[in-house]
Amino acid sequence: MQAMPETVPSTLPPTLQFLARRWWLVLLRGVVAILFGFLAALWPGLTILTLVVLYGAFAFTDGILALAAAIAGRGPSSARWWLVLSGLLGIAVGVVAVISPGAVAFALLILIAATAIALGAMQIVAAIQMRKEIAHEWLLIVAGVVSILFGIVLLAQPGAGAIAIAWMVAAYAVASGVVYIAWSLRLRKWHNTTTGAPAP
C-alpha cells in the first residue's frame, strides 16, 4: 500500500519559521557531533586529558552554532531560549575544559555529564512546548533522551578507563548528530515547501 504524502501547512507557525530558516545551522551541529564522535572513538592512545580537551573543543563549537541559530534574526522566544541556554552551557564547558583540563579532569567529566542531562531536559521541554506547532517534535525528544541517558551513564561510571569513556562519549555524539541531521532535513523540507524555494 502506498504511503499517504505528508501534509505540510502553507504557512508555518512563527516558531517553526524561525528554526526552518536556520536549518543549515542545525545540520552543522549534527555534522560536527558525528565528526567528533568518530574522532573520539578512533583516536589511538586516547587519555582522559585528551578526551576532555577534545570534548571541550566540540562543546565550544556546538555552543557557538547554537548561539548563532538563536541570534541570526528575530524569532519567538519559545524557539530561542533553549538555543541560548544550550549555547552558553556548551561554550562554558568548552572554555573550562580547554583552559585547565588536567587539574579538574575528573570534575569536568561530572560537569560534562550534568550538562548533558540539563541540555537533554531543555530539549524535551522545548519539544513539548512546540508540540502544537511541529509534527515531528519526537526528533527533539529523542535527542533529549539520548543526552540524558549519556549523562546518567557517565555519572554512574566517572572513574571508568579512558577507552570506555571515549566509547560512551563517541556513541552519544554520533547518536545526537544523526538526530540533528534528521531534524535539519525535516526543517529544510518544510522551509522549501512553504517558501517555494528549490531543494538543493
DSSP annotation of 47: -
CATH for 14-194, among 1.10.3470, 1.25.40, 3.30.70, 1.10.357? 1.25.40
- Per-residue pLDDT band for 17 (boundaries 50, 70, 90) equals low
Q: What angle do CA 60, 61, 63 make, to 5 degrees?
A: 65
Please say if the pLDDT value at position 121 is more than 70.
yes
In the chain, % of residues over pLDDT 70: 70
Q: Where are the domains of the chain?
A: 14-194
Q: Mean pLDDT of all residues in the chain? A: 75
Over residues 48-90, the pLDDT tens digits come to 777 778 888 888 888 888 888 777 655 555 556 777 887 888 8
pLDDT at 153 over 50: yes
Task: Report the alpha-carbon distance of residue 168 to residue 158 in Å, rounded.
Answer: 11
* Distance from the first to the final alpha carbon of the chain: 29
Give the relative orientation of helices 162-195 and 48-71 as an angle to the nearest 10 degrees. 20
Distance between alpha carbon 11 and the CA centroid of its chain, in Å?
27
42: CB partners within 8 A, 6+ apart: none
What percentage of the chain exceeds 90 in pLDDT? Answer: 2
d(CA 149, CA 172) in angstroms, rounded, equals: 9
